[in-house]
Amino acid sequence: MRICVIGLGYIGLPTALLLSEHHDVFGCDINSELVEKVNQKCIPFCENGLEERLRTSSIKAFTHPVEADAFLICVPTPFDREVRMADLRYVESAVESIVPYLKTGNLVVIESTISPGACEKVVCPILQKSGLRVGKDIFLSHCPERAIPGKTFDEMINNDRIVGGFDQKSTELTERLYRSFVKGNIYKTSIRTAEFVKLMENTYRDVNIALANELAILAEEAGVNVWEAIDLANKHPRVNIHAPGPGVGGHCIAIDPWFLTESTANAKIIEMAREINDNMPSYILHKARRIFEMHNITNPVVTILGVAYKGNIDDTRETPALKLIKLCAKEGWKVKLSDPYVSRFEYPLLSLEDATRDSDLIIIETDHTYYCSLDAARLAELMRNRIVIDTKNILDKSEFKENGFEIHTLGGNISGTKNVLSKSGFQADDFEIRALRGDIIEK
pLDDT per residue as tens digits for the range 273-306: 999 999 999 999 999 999 999 999 999 999 999 9
252 counts as catalytic: yes
| pLDDT band, residue 81 (cuts 50/70/90) | confident
Q: What is the mean pLDDT of the chain?
A: 92
As a CATH number, domain 204-442 is 3.40.50.720
Residue 233 above 70 pLDDT? yes
Q: Coil, helix or strand for 12? A: helix
**Percent of the chain, pLDDT > 90?**
88
Spatial CA neighbour of 406 closest among 438, 368, 439: 439
Name the nearest CA neighbour of 297 among 245, 358, 369: 358
Give 79 or 427, the one with higher predicted confidence: 79
Q: Give the model's confidence band at 421: pLDDT under 50 very low, under 70 low, under 90 confident, else very high.
A: very low
In the prediction, which pLDDT does 80 show? 87
- Residue pLDDT, tens place only, 218-231: 999 999 999 999 99
CA distances from 17 to 11, 12, 121 (A): 10, 9, 31
Residue 82's pLDDT band (boundaries 50, 70, 90)?
Answer: confident
Q: Which one is catalytic: 74, 143, 252, 328? A: 252
Helix (H) or strand (E) holding 195: helix 191-222
Percent of the chain residues past pLDDT 70, beyond the cut: 93
Q: Say whether pTM exceeds 0.85.
A: yes
Confidence band (pLDDT; 50, 70, 90) for 83? confident
Dihedral Cα 316, 318, 320, 326, nearest 10 deg: 90
> Confidence band (pLDDT; 50, 70, 90) for 165?
very high
**Structural domain 2-184, CATH architecture:** 3-Layer(aba) Sandwich (3.40)
Checking phi first, is residue 404 left (phi over 0); if not, alpha (psi -120 to 50) or beta? left
Catalytic residue among 198, 287, 392, 397: 198
Helix (H, G, I), strand (E, B) or coil at 217: helix
The crossing angle, in degrees rounded to 10, of helices 191-222 and 268-278 is 50
- Is-same-fold flag (2-184; 204-442)? yes
pLDDT tops 50 at residue 427: no
Active site residue 198: yes
Q: Is the distance from CB of 138 to CB of 104 less than 8 angstroms?
A: yes
Residue closest to 10 by CA, chosen among 156, 143, 142: 156
- Amino acid at residue number 169: K
| pLDDT at position 438 | 37
Q: Whole-angstrom Cα distance, residue 231 to residue 342?
A: 32
Enumerate the domain spans of the chain.
2-184, 204-442
131-153 exposure pattern, b = at least 16 Cβ within 10 A, e = fewer: ebebeebbbbbbbbbbbbbbbbb
The confidence score (pLDDT) of residue 84 equals 82
Average pLDDT on 336-344 reads: 96
